[in-house]
Amino acid sequence: MLIRKLLPTARQRLQSIDVSAVLLQAARRLDDGCDMLLVCDTTGRLAGVLTKTDVVRQTGRCSGASCTAPVIEAMTRDVTAVTADGWLQEAWEIMKARGFKNIPVLEADGKPLGVLNARDVLQTLLQEVREEEGLLQDYVMNIGYR
């Protein structure tokens, strides 16, 4: 199954922030139930990702009551992402191998389309296996394909 089929769900998880934003703004956005922010440059292309862990790590280095460090100082720049035309199974293999809970889905030009969540990917792959199992069982029992 292509990742494109999960784009409606992935778009719902898409949360982005500008590279010029400060860490305090990002922390507020991440507090609203969001796990990861996609940091985008002025052209809308992905520049990095920022997680709650990144924010905690950077705020630990801040002095004073407020942290005005830019998100660019805390974000992960070397981002592993997938495209909508990739296979969902391959996305899962990447997520499993790297221990990712989420992975960005990008257009060919680097602009974000959404964020895949491991739970959504696994549920979709499991449903696909169940459907194939049902088809195989029907074939073996001489019922034919439905």
In a domain, 146, yes or no: no
CATH number for the domain that contains residue 58: 3.10.580.10
Q: Please give the Cα distance from 62 to 69 (Å, whole number).
A: 8
Q: Do you know the residue count of the chain?
A: 146
Tokens 């292309």, located at residue = 45
Q: pLDDT tens, 97-136?
A: 999 999 999 999 999 999 999 999 999 998 887 777 766 7
In a domain, 68, yes or no: yes
Q: What residues contact residue 113 under an 8 Å CB cut-off, 6+ apart?
A: 7, 10, 11, 14, 84, 105, 106, 107
Give every residue of the chain whose pLDDT is below 50, as ranges: none
Q: In the structure encoding, which two tokens stand for residue 30, read together?
A: 């991440």
Give the range of the structural domain holding residue 131, as residue numbers without chain letter. 3-140
**What is the average pLDDT score of the chain?**
88
pLDDT of res. 144 = 61
